[in-house]
Amino acid sequence: MSKSSPIIVGLDIGTTKIAVIAGRKNEFGKLEILGFGRADSFGVQHGMVLNIEQTIRAIQNALQRCYESNPDLIIEEVYVGIAGQHIQSLQTRGEMIRTDIESEISKQEIEQLINDQYKTYIPTGDQIIDVIPQEFSVDQYQNITNPVGYSGIKIGASFHIITGNKLAIRNINRSVQKAGLHVKDLVLQPLASAAAVMCDQDLEAGVAIVDIGGGTTDMAVFYEGVLRQTVVIPYGGENITNDIKNGLGVLRTQAEQMKVQFGSALADEAKSNAYITIPGLRGQQPREISVKNLAHIIQARMQEILDFVMYHLRQIGLDSKYLNGGIILTGGGSQLKHLIQLTEYVTGLSARIGYPNEHLASGHPEELARPMYATCIGLILKGLHDYENHPEAFEAQFKPVNVLKHEQPVQPPSEMAGPSHQEERQVAARNSRLRAFLDNIKSGIIELFRDEEDKTI
């Protein structure tokens, strides 16, 4: 395996699950999976951390599973996805007058122009998460994708700035740090998912990535190779489950199971004579639930989510005649039956499911090719992109670790009592270094006395 790429770890803190995936790029430019762990999420609602202690335990459980899948791993830094209703975005314009007009525009000048946008005024209580350049201009020349190498006096650019609530960001950072990890960077979840499921042709054609998660539906719109819009829609798979629970009068676990096993996003496709039998409570008679009624409830909520998608597309003037790549559905909620047909009917755009296997090397665990892991895979790709631009910041991540093959089963999380495998490995490494240090001192003292004895004789 090539060791020319650092180990990058993605941490997806979702409303229903927390996933940890470690990977590095191989010699063919594909992502090799080194470790994978998943745990049920508690303490997170609509993408926001509300209970820090519960979130910490869930992160530790996922981390423990990742270690059990590959005991050679040592995880210290992670790329973390962020979402939630507090996420906002705005468009700005920045310019810079060059002092050395004789030289070509350098990468450092572009980075300075981008960094200057972090001084943009935003509402009190918010914080800038990311600044994404869209299009550059050099003097009178417009619509430049990369101005490095151009000559000119004035550089300008349009920027897409993503902001979030400081308290929500602080809760994420605190949860990750108390779980024994360091946040390398926060990445907006729809951008991470887009990196995992898109290819260059999608970027050129124009697409809308719709990531249907447990608590929110996140959207990123790309047109003419540029990010045009990011949106967080405050509805997701949990809302569908709650609708089923309230509409049919069943337990939440029953509602979730019915949604996954028998749910359909199109009521017309559900059989009118099909029924689901569920056990009665406390000795009551079993109940029969109409599959048709179940589909009506799911379709109503999914149609509402897709109406929001179309509303935001119209806000930026991108209707069906512009997005030739259509809509790419991803996330756990994208696995609903007949969702593609409903999406095409509501939006008038072509639709497909986005699987995060575009960049994965062969031999990866088959489960990771599911849409629900698109965000976590995308976080690793974001880290690899950062490495390609700033390799000096990743020296510590170059470690020999075996690739995780799909034949290796992921073990269930063990109880978190006592020190973790990571802590045991770190303590053992420190003890080994201390013993070596003391042995060197001991050897030096012995040699010193030998020299004195030689002189005396």
pTM attached to this predicted model: 0.83
Mean pLDDT to the nearest integer, 26-38: 92
Q: How confident is the model at residue 155 (pLDDT cuts 50, 70, 90)?
A: very high
Q: How confident is the model at residue 412 (pLDDT cuts 50, 70, 90)?
A: very low
Report strand pairing: 217-223 vs 207-212: antiparallel
Q: How confident is the model at residue 179 (pLDDT cuts 50, 70, 90)?
A: very high
For the chain, the average pLDDT equals 86
Higher pLDDT, residue 414 or 170:
170
Residue 112: partners with Cβ closer than 8 Å, 6 or more residues away: 96
Is residue 405's pLDDT more than 70? no
Is residue 379's pLDDT more than 80? yes
Instruction: State how far the Cα of 232 lies from the Cα of 453, in Å rounded to an integer.
Output: 78
Per-residue pLDDT tens over the stretch 48-78: 999 999 999 999 999 999 999 999 999 999 9
Give which of 351, 331, 340, 326 is closest to 222, Cα–Cα. 326
Residue 35: partners with Cβ closer than 8 Å, 6 or more residues away: 20, 21, 22, 66, 67, 69, 70, 73, 75, 401, 404
Residue 440: partners with Cβ closer than 8 Å, 6 or more residues away: none
CA R_g for the chain: 26
Lowest mean pLDDT: which of 137-151, 234-248, 290-304, 381-395? 381-395
CATH of 199-355, one of 3.20.20.140, 3.30.420.40, 3.40.1160.10, 1.10.150.120: 3.30.420.40
Place of tokens 């992502």: 31
**What is the reported pLDDT for 399?**
65
**What is the reported pLDDT for 451?**
46
Domain ranges of the chain: 88-163, 199-355, 418-457
> Are 88-163 and 199-355 in the same CATH fold?
no
Mean pLDDT to the nearest integer, 156-173: 95
Lowest mean pLDDT: which of 96-100, 280-284, 301-305? 280-284
Instruction: State how far the Cα of 270 lies from the Cα of 268, in Å rounded to an integer.
Output: 6
Mean pLDDT to the nearest integer, 99-126: 92
Q: What fold, for 88-163?
A: Dna Ligase; domain 1 (3.30.1490)
Of the chain, the percentage scoring pLDDT greater than 90 comes to 69
Angle at 117 between CA 174 and CA 384, to 5 degrees: 60
